Amino acid sequence: MADSQKAAQELEVLIVGAGFAGLQMLHSSLQKGRSVRLYEAGSAVGGTWYWNRYPGARVDLESLEYSFSFSSEVEQEWRWSERYAAQPELQRYAEYVTDKFNLRPHIRFNARIVSAIFDEESHRWDVTTEAGEKVSARFCIMATGLLSAPNRPYFEGAESFRGLQVQTGLWPKEGVELEGKRVCVIGTGSSAVQCIPEIAKVAAHLTVFQRTPVFAIPARNAPMDDDHQRRIKADYAGLRKVESESLAGFVGLHFLDKPNPTQGAMEVSDAERRAEYDRRWAAGGLSFYNAYKDLLTDAASNESCAEYVRGKIRERVRDPELAEKLTPRTYPILTKRLCADTGYYETYNRDNVRLVDLRETGIAGIAPDGIRMQDGALHRCDVIVYATGFDALTGALDRIDIRGRGGETIRQHWADGLRTFAGLMSSGFPNMIYMNGPGSPSAVFAPIQLAEYQAAWIERCLDFMASHGADCIDVTSEAEEEWGAHADEIGAMTLLSRSNTWYMGDNIPGKPRRVLIYMGGFPAYRDTCENAAANGYQKFRLT
Ligand code: N01
């Protein structure tokens, strides 16, 4: 290989993933003048919003909050058309940011990374794409997404199905013909809650297979009010400051006066509590998380909220028996990610929609013409939609053959449960840094804001290394242990473990159960990261 070609394949920074986190990292690395390239498995930018094109896909945080804050020009220039942007608009936004900062020449599309092997001599990562391209990088920044490794359970006979089988998280770019079709949807998580009402509108018949009912709150999406948008833009910095001091990174724009709750739900009178829930129900969206400070830690407080939402389900579904089947009773509200819905429960009032409760009879397998149940029933269909979720947080990383010191794979490293320091690095995997990674607050904090913070942290770290003549950074196993124990302790103070959820790894057979997200809130997380960097990165080994 000619020297110039070789140089082109030797990067300082290699980024994996062109979602919002990867784009942010690419932009900041370029600004620093680093030799950097981003590898993306898809053919365009957008990450989650590139892959999840199912009908009804839209963000569940308000777009004015779920957006980049690093550039006030971007904040002012981009006009959101709806309160919660839909997938196409979010992808356009990602494209706009990519072009505005001229990121495209630095991205390799259709280039899925399949392996990353650490060379202990050179302190570099040898990285290979699916097509066999090899590249060497000093640092690997894994912006691979927290919900990007789709989980598709296998049902016996699936290959015999004569119709079409699709997954919400890998929705075909060319779209799926659903008009007049008989459709089965498996799963009732956030993806299902969004696509079920849309599919029901066009399909001849829709059958939904529910294993666990969910709590959903009306999103109350609407065209963006221009005055509202103008008001927010007039003091975006103020909003971002409030967000960054909040536990969740978003406040809900109806609740700017109360970004962090100070009271417990049972500290107020029944009437006051009811009024607060009514206010949040009317405003729509996920602000229930912020209604009281103890909804995720106190069973009685949690139950007051759960019972409020159960009452609403009874109001929304006409048939009381059906309403009961759709009502969650076996786990605390908010411990599974709350869904923001648009007409989800009402969809079950339609004549062309049927709910199959898998607690009554399970799926036996897939026949050529539909889904066969253990009680012998056959649900005929033309299309099966798997809305069955993701191997969350760790899946996008451990599906890559990542080998650190001594050839240990990341899968081996996590065999008995997740091990990271602050969701940033794992011990024995030097110079590899995760964004929105497992063990960070990613799934319970605004992911764009977290990525912005992490990108800045990474840049400072790389600058520090350069100015101290270090080319290798590894987190100590003590720091990793300490963080894991702390995250477990905080997790155990919540009701999270009373629920089977991807937050705990429960949805993937064989995945070790350990809290995969940091529940201590962003301000505490940021302090940890800042302290770790203070005094010469004492929690790390620099060589
Ligand atoms: O996945 P999920 P998702 N047989 O894991 C069921 C974000 N998101 O893609 O609960 C039958 O929540 C499973 O049943 P159970 C958001 O953070 C956001 O919907 O395990 N059923 C469940 O009902 C969300 O939390 C938006 O008993 C099976 C469903 O499939 C996260 O992504 C939109 C099954 C999976 O639900 C994941 O949501 C979409 C089986 N073998 C997603 N296996 C926004 O609104 C699984 N299920 C922005």
- Chain segment 21-70, per-residue pLDDT in tens: 999 999 999 999 999 999 999 999 999 999 999 999 999 999 999 999 99
* Closest approach atom of ligand 1 to CA 169: 9
Q: Indicate whether 314 and 228 sit together in one domain.
A: yes
Angle at which helix 522-537 crosses helix 447-467, to 10 degrees, equals: 0
- pLDDT for the residue 251: 80
C-alpha span between 523 and 69 (Å, rounded): 17
Mean pLDDT calculated for residue range 285-296: 93
Q: Which residues, other chains included, contact 249 with Cβ-Cβ below 8 Å and sequence gap of 6+?
A: 243, 441, 445, 446, 449, 450, 522
Confidence of residue 4 (pLDDT cuts 50, 70, 90): very low
**Residue 134 is encoded by which pair of tokens?**
């090899």
Average pLDDT of every residue of the chain? 96
ipTM: 0.99
Q: Indicate whether 377 and 398 sit together in one domain.
A: no
Does 443 score more than 90 pLDDT? Answer: no
* Closest approach atom of ligand 1 to CA 52: 39
Q: Is residue 316 in a domain?
A: yes
* Closest approach atom of ligand 1 to CA 212: 27
Q: Is residue 399 in a domain?
A: yes
Interval 370-386: pLDDT, tens: 999 999 999 999 999 99
**Residue 253 is encoded by which pair of tokens?**
């724009």
Parallel, antiparallel or unpaired: strands 113-119 and 124-129: antiparallel
Give the distance (Å) from ligand 1 centre to CA of residue 53: 15
**200, 32 Cβ separation under 8 angstroms:** no
Mean pLDDT calculated for residue range 225-230: 95
Give the distance (Å) from ligand 1 centre to CA of residue 514: 19
What value, to the nearest 5°, has the Cα angle with vertex 239 and ends 86 and 283?
A: 55
Strands (E), 294-361: 339-341, 353-357
Q: Is residue 86 in a domain?
A: no
Interval 237-260: pLDDT, tens: 999 999 888 888 888 888 887 778
> Ligand 1, residues 59, 83, 168, 191: which to mutate, most atoms within 8 A of Cβ?
191
CA dist list (Å): 497 to 35, 58, 289, 515: 43, 28, 17, 8
For position 115, which CATH number holds? 3.50.50.60
**Residue 127 is encoded by which pair of tokens?**
């990285």
Into how many domains does the chain fold?
A: 2
Give the distance (Å) from ligand 1 centre to CA of residue 118: 34
Q: Indicate whether 379 and 338 sit together in one domain.
A: yes
Q: Indicate whether 423 and 496 sit together in one domain.
A: yes
* Closest approach atom of ligand 1 to CA 168: 9
**200, 347 Cβ separation under 8 angstroms:** yes
Domain that holds residue 282: 216-388
Which residue, by CA, sits nearest to atom 15 of ligand 1? 212
For the purposes of burial, counting CB atoms within 10 Å of the CB of 399, is it exposed (0-12), middle (13-18) or buried (19 or more)? middle
Mean pLDDT calculated for residue range 346-372: 98
Q: Is 123 left (phi over 0), alpha (psi -120 to 50) or beta?
A: left
DSSP secondary structure letter of residue 494: S
CA dist list (Å): 215 to 186, 285, 326, 337, 471: 17, 12, 9, 9, 48
Give the distance (Å) from ligand 1 centre to CA of residue 16: 25
Give the distance (Å) from ligand 1 centre to CA of residue 320: 25
- pLDDT for the residue 249: 82
Q: Indicate whether 17 and 127 sit together in one domain.
A: yes
Q: Indicate whether 411 and 433 sit together in one domain.
A: yes
C-alpha span between 442 and 238 (Å, rounded): 22
Angle at which helix 236-245 crosses helix 226-234, to 10 degrees, equals: 80
DSSP line for 465-486: HHHTT---EEE-HHHHHHHHHH
- pLDDT for the residue 278: 97
Q: Indicate whether 224 and 249 sit together in one domain.
A: yes
Q: Is residue 442 in a domain?
A: yes
With residue 212 as reference, give the H or E element that holds it: none
Ligand 1: residues with CB < 6 A are 59-60, 147, 153, 168, 186-192, 194, 209, 211-212, 337, 340, 358, 387-390, 502, 507
Q: Is residue 172 in a domain?
A: no
- Report which residue type is found at 458: I
Q: Indicate whether 380 and 397 sit together in one domain.
A: no
Does 226 score more than 70 pLDDT? Answer: yes
Give the distance (Å) from ligand 1 centre to CA of residue 206: 18
Q: How many residues does the chain have?
A: 543
Interval 255-281: pLDDT, tens: 887 778 899 999 999 999 999 999 999
C-alpha span between 464 and 442 (Å, rounded): 25
Residue that is written with structure tokens 């998280």 in the block: 169
Sign of CA dihedral 328, 334, 336, 337: positive
Q: Which of 2, 40, 36, 8 is nearest to 134 (CA)?
A: 8
Q: Indicate whether 422 and 379 sit together in one domain.
A: no
With residue 384 as reference, give the H or E element that holds it: strand 383-386
DSSP secondary structure letter of residue 253: T
With residue 9 as reference, give the H or E element that holds it: none
Q: Is residue 204 in a domain?
A: no
Q: Is residue 347 in a domain?
A: yes
Among 367, 388, 409, the domain boundary falls at: 388
Q: Indicate whether 412 and 320 sit together in one domain.
A: no
* Closest approach atom of ligand 1 to CA 388: 30
* Closest approach atom of ligand 1 to CA 443: 17
Task: List the end-to-end C-alpha distance of the chain, in Å, as a whole number.
Answer: 30
C-alpha span between 24 and 448 (Å, rounded): 9
Claim: this prediction has a pTM higher than 0.90: yes
Give the distance (Å) from ligand 1 centre to CA of residue 365: 20
Does 205 score more than 60 pLDDT? Answer: yes
Give the distance (Å) from ligand 1 centre to CA of residue 135: 35
Mean pLDDT calculated for residue range 421-449: 96
- pLDDT for the residue 327: 98
Q: Is residue 258 in a domain?
A: yes
* Closest approach atom of ligand 1 to CA 363: 4
